[in-house]
Amino acid sequence: MNNKYIKIYDDLVSLIQEGKLKVHAKLPSEHELAESYDTTRETIRKALKLLSEHGYIQKVRGKGSIVLDVKKFDFPISGLVSFKELASKMGQRAKTLVQSLDVINPNDYLREQLKLKKTDKIWEVIRVRQFDDEKVILDKDYFNKKMITDLTMQVCENSIYEYIEEELGLIISFAKKEITVEEPTEEDHQFLDLQGFSNIVVVKNYVYLDDASLFQYTESRHRPDKFRFVDFARRK
């Protein structure tokens, strides 16, 4: 990446994570940073804006910028993180089982969710996520076949996001997420180790590409004891 403000951001994140900038410590002033990075204040401010949005610092008018100790992303569905990125932190304890991979005609519900034309067909991928040999998450992914023409078992076992971004060159940009709690369905009982739990946490995900086109709908169904969502929010 060539962007100066990204480099400055990365640099400051490293300093914070290495503890060279301690929690509650004050950053150098924007003027000082501008000089030491040989740039102008506006560019420094872009870097600090990023740090602030990501929860690393708090800016206080008239005083300066303070390093925060809000721990980052313990176990999030927050933001947009794929299961593979998450699993890599969990080591060998996480596993993905692909149950099925089909091209189907969408029912009315899916046709509406994905805003499809009458003749459009879709991919349906059903996967089970396993932690410590327990099946605790059921993921149902739906893609427009027009946009993702090929999909293999191997890709699904790995990371679909990786395939889409790296192989196909499509860029995932933003998502709308909805979390509710429902009764388990037949399917949930069939695929998951529910152990008598009488509720399922349902995360519905609408994923959009760079050009604002909706291209994926995902339902992620979690056993309640294995569900955790962490979020960082700023007022207004």
Partner DNA sequence: AAGTGGTCTAGACCACGCA
Partner DNA sequence: GCGTGGTCTAGACCACTTG
Per rule CB under 8 A, is residue 22 in the interface with a copy of itself? no
Closer residue to DNA, CB minimum distance, 62 or 91 = 62
Closer residue to DNA, CB minimum distance, 45 or 111 = 45
CB 165 within 8 A of CB 221: no
Per rule CB under 7 A, is residue 21 in the interface with DNA? no
CA distance 75 to 231: 10
Per rule CB under 7 A, is residue 53 in the interface with DNA? no
> What residue 27 binds from a copy of itself, DNA, none (CB within 5 to 8 A, per partner kind)?
DNA
Options 11, 14, 31, 70; binder of a copy of itself; rule CB under 8 A: 70
Closer residue to DNA, CB minimum distance, 152 or 213 = 213
> What residue 80 binds from a copy of itself, DNA, none (CB within 5 to 8 A, per partner kind)?
a copy of itself
Min separation Cβ 192 and DNA, Å: 41
Per rule CB under 8 A, is residue 178 in the interface with a copy of itself? yes
CA dihedral for 159, 72, 235, 227, sign (positive or negative): positive
Query: CA angle, corner 149, sides to 164 and 144, nearest 5?
Result: 80
The candidate with the shortest Cα–Cα distance to 211, out of 166, 160, 162, 174, is: 174
Options 29, 39, 58, 96; binder of a copy of itself; rule CB under 8 A: 58
Q: Is 214 exposed, middle or buried (0-12, 13-18, 19+ CB in 10 A)?
A: middle
Give the pair of three-digit tokens for residue 76: 């999030």
Residue-by-residue DSSP string for 61-115:
TTTEEEE------SS--SSS--HHHHHHHHGGGEEEEEEEEEEE---HHHHHHTT
State the number of binding residues for a copy of itself (CB under 8 A). Answer: 43
Q: Bridge-partner residues for 219, per DSSP?
A: 140, 204
Per rule CB under 7 A, is residue 139 in the interface with DNA? no
Interface contacts to DNA, rule CB under 7 A: 2-6, 27, 29-32, 38-43, 45-46, 48, 59-65
Which residues of the shown chain bind a copy of itself in the complex (CB under 8 A)? 24, 42, 55, 58, 60, 63, 66, 68, 70, 78-80, 172-181, 197-199, 201, 206, 208, 210-212, 224-225, 227-236
